[in-house]
Structure formats: structure tokens, C-alpha cells
Amino acid sequence: MTNRCDCHCVFCIRDQEASALGGLWLQEEPAKEAVLAEILAQDLGQYTEIVFCGYGEPTCRADDLFWLCDQLRAAGRADLPPIRLNTNGHGSLINHRDITPELKGRLDAVSVSLNGSNREEYLRLTRPGAGEKGWQAMLDFVRQAVQYVPKVMVSIVDYDKSPQEMEACRRLAEELGATFRVRPFAG
């Protein structure tokens, strides 16, 4: 729903020509009502999930995202699939409040981009606007989210990672109480 983001990941395609991004690049952000109407117009039974994801950080529009989850559930559709949020884990930092309690009952799953097993590696790859605060904000978000969402994953894009770093990420995921997921680099 947005191309805005507080990070500037080295592998992000947002810096590419708009024409290379196809439908991922928005001329303008759609109104939440338009997004709702478009989703409800679908035969939802053909989808395994509804996923709020990038490129762009969905929690830049957290209030609209939560409104959409509420409306989708209130619509009472028997074919509504599980709803997932893919995020960089900065939603609380971006919105200046802890948004994790607001995930409860709205999201079935949350996938947080981990990107690195330590602060230096994380900052090297994601380059958050808030600098070092971004690392801690992401960790706090995961620790909090596992209390409110049935399924919380931390994901690594298989980009520039040694087996040792992968293993360190897996261990960190475990410490955070989340499931570890490796995603193939698509760039």
C-alpha cells in the first residue's frame, strides 16, 4: 500500500527505474477503502494468504493496515485466508508507539526481516534512517510480537551470507522466540 520506508537496504529495488518495478511502484498510495473493495472483489478461496508487504514498509500505514484487517474480518467471508504482515520490524519506531498489541486478532502471521545476526551486519545491509536505533527496534518488535501473533517468523534474504552468519541468524531467531525462514534473493 506504500512505497515509503525508513530503511535503505543495499538490495532494495526501490532505487531502480520505476519501469523496472512494474506494478510494485505506486503512482499514488491507494485509499484504504479502495484496497478493501479490491480485495473483497476477489474470489479469496484461490489464495493461501493475504500478505501486506513491500516494496515499501507496510507499517508506514499501520492504522490503515489495522483498519483493513478489521474490515476484512468483519466482512464475514468464509473464504478469507490467513493474513500476514511482512515487515522490517520498525513499526513501533515509525509510529512512535508500541504497535505490537494492535497486531492481536488482526494478523495471523508476521514475518520480520532480520538481515543480520548482529548490529553491525544489520546496519550495513539495511541502513535505517534512525541509525543504530533500528537494530534494537527490530529486536524489540519481534520479542513483543510473539506475544500477540500466533506465527512470527524472522527471515533472511539469501544475499551475501556465509554459512556461519546464517547459523548465527538462526540462533538469534530462536532466542527471540520466532521461527527462522530463509528467502531466496530475487535481485
Identify residue 96 by its one-letter amino acid code: H
Separation of alpha carbons 72 and 48, rounded Å: 15
First to last CA, the chain: 21
Tell me the Cα Rg of the chain. 16
Least separation, in Å, of the C-beta of 181 and ligand SF4? 15
Name the residue among 155, 42, 18, 3 with its Cα closest to residue 88: 155
Cβ pair 138, 112 in contact under 8 A: yes
Sequence-distant (6+) residues with CB within 8 A of 38 are 30
Residue whose CB is less far from ligand SF4, 8 or 171: 8
Least separation, in Å, of the C-beta of 15 and ligand SF4? 9
Residue whose CB is less far from ligand SF4, 45 or 129: 129
Residue whose CB is less far from ligand SF4, 9 or 69: 9
Residue whose CB is less far from ligand SF4, 54 or 91: 54
Residue whose CB is less far from ligand SF4, 76 or 184: 184
List of residues contacting ligand SF4 (CB under 6 A): 5, 7-9, 12, 14, 54-57, 88, 126
Least separation, in Å, of the C-beta of 104 and ligand SF4? 23
CA separation, residue 28 to residues 2, 3, 24, 31 (Å): 8, 9, 11, 9
The sheet with strand 83-87 has its strands ordered as 50-52, 83-87, 109-113, 151-158, 179-184
Least separation, in Å, of the C-beta of 113 and ligand SF4? 6
Least separation, in Å, of the C-beta of 124 and ligand SF4? 13
